[in-house]
Structure 1
Amino acid sequence: MAKTKENSGTKKAVQELIDALNGDLAREYQAIIAYTVYSSVLTGAQWMNIAAELKKHAHEELQHALIIADQIDYLGGSPTATPKPVKLSKKAEEMLRFDLDNETETIKNYRQRVKQAEAIGHYALADQLRTIIAQEQEHQHDLATALGIDVPHVFEGGA
């Protein structure tokens, strides 16, 4: 009887992880779209370096999406095909701020996913997520630097 209860609890935890990873995957799709669009529409000499960096970020976000989709499949789920909505603006600063806010939220979410993965013994997934977090932090730093602001801190209770 105890084994059935344990299996049921583990199955529930795995399903919760799959659902959360699908939310993360939708955010990765959002980032790919946003970085692709923003890098193409940023104008002005002051934005050319960050525009080139955003193209690089788009490629890295695609790699993240592929990793997350593979992990969802491995866990027995179906990867989502729907991105979160992309905010658009004609102002460069607003576009970069949208990206920065998304990166900050993504880091917070992935830190939670690491805890979830480790709680059910999926240490390889946790390691992959840590690698993704490191890249997301680089993106966050690039965006904050382009905006001339400090990198936002990510706290457990929120950003």
Structure 2
Amino acid sequence: MQTYQTNEVETLIEGLNEDLSAEYGAMIQYLYNASVVSGLSRRILKPFFEEEAQDEMRHALYLSEKINYLGGQPSVRPKAVKHVTGVREMLQHTLQEEIDTIDRYKKRIDQAEQVGDIALKVQLEDMISDETRHKEEIERLLKENNL
């Protein structure tokens, strides 16, 4: 195991822990949404939210392992989850969370490049791709349902 000691790596670890907490929160948010969504949209949105939760879990696992590898202590605290019940509110809230996640990962890519961690950079790019697909699907759902 390689141990890094630079300030840049410490900053990267802090950022990755922020991302990890957000992924935990997103996973919980999606599971919450899947459990409370109702009405005509339930048949479509429940499986959608459940699938998205699985993606966020994979992201969280990767981030946790990377933080540990870099010599940090992975966070165990999720970002706060919003209690929403309306379909439109659920989708708008998760859309904003996806946008925020993409922005954070772009910053983390720059930090990964600064410390020379190309594997992390590439993985974050893949995670941005996942989050972008989530974002676009939510945008389609909002548009198609005139929500």
The TM-score with structure 2 as length reference comes to: 0.91
Pick the aligned partner of 2:97 from 95, 99, 102: 102
Q: Which runs of 5+ in 2 are unaligned?
A: none
Q: Which runs of 5+ in 1 are unaligned?
A: 1-9, 150-159
Q: What per-residue deviation string (whole Å, max 9, x for no partner) do you get for residues 92-116 of structure 1? A: 1111111111000000000110111
Paired-residue identity, %: 36
Pick the aligned partner of 2:139 from 138, 144, 153: 144
Residue-pair matches, total: 140
Q: How far apart, CA to CA, are the structure 2 residues paired with 1:31 and 1:46?
A: 20
CA contact (8 A) 1:18 1:77 kept: yes
Deviation at 1:47, TM superposition (A): 4.1
Q: What per-residue deviation string (whole Å, max 9, x for no partner) do you get for residues 56-94 of structure 1? A: 000010000000001101110000000110011221111
Q: Aligned partner of 1:137: which letter?
A: T
CA contact (8 A) 1:50 1:142 kept: no
SS at match of 2:6: helix
Q: Aligned partner of 2:29: which letter?
A: A
The alignment yields a C-alpha RMSD, in angstroms, of 1.2
Q: How far apart, CA to CA, are the structure 1 residues paired with 2:135 and 2:6?
A: 34
Q: Aligned partner of 1:119: which letter?
A: Q
Whose Rg is larger? 1
